Structure 1
Amino acid sequence: MKYFSVFLPMLNSEKSDRFQTQHLEFLRKLKLEGRVYAHGQFVDGAGELVIYQADSYKQVESCVKRDPYVVEQARDYEIHEWEMVIENQ
Structure 2
Amino acid sequence: MNYYAVYLPMKDEELSATYRPDHLAYLDARMAEGKVKAKGRFTDGSGGLVIYQADSAEDVEEYVKHDPYIVNGARSYVIKEWEAAFAE
Which TM-score band applies after superposition, normalised by the shorter structure?
A: over 0.9
The residue that corresponds to 1:17 in the other structure is 17
Question: In structure 1, what is the equivalent of residue 49 of structure 2?
Answer: 49
Residue identity opposite 2:81 in structure 1: E
Structure 1 position 40, deviation (Å): 0.1
Is 1:26 the counterpart of 2:50? The answer is no
What are the superposed Cα offsets for residues 18-50 of structure 1, whole Å, 9 maximum, x if unpaired?
000000000000000000000000000110000
Q: CA deviation at 1:87?
A: 4.4
TM-score by length of 1: 0.96
Unmatched runs of 5 consecutive residues or more in structure 2: none
- For these two proteins, the number of residue pairs brought into alignment is 88
TM-score by length of 2: 0.97
Question: Deviation of residue 86 (structure 1)?
Answer: 2.3
Question: What residue in structure 2 maps to residue 69 of structure 1?
Answer: 69
**Paired-residue identity, %:** 49
Unaligned runs of 5+ in 1: none
Give 1:80's aligned residue. 80
Letter of the 1:17 partner, please give it. A
Q: Structure 1: which 4+ aligned runs deviate by more than 2 Å?
A: none
Cα 1:24–1:87 shift into 2, 3 Å? closer
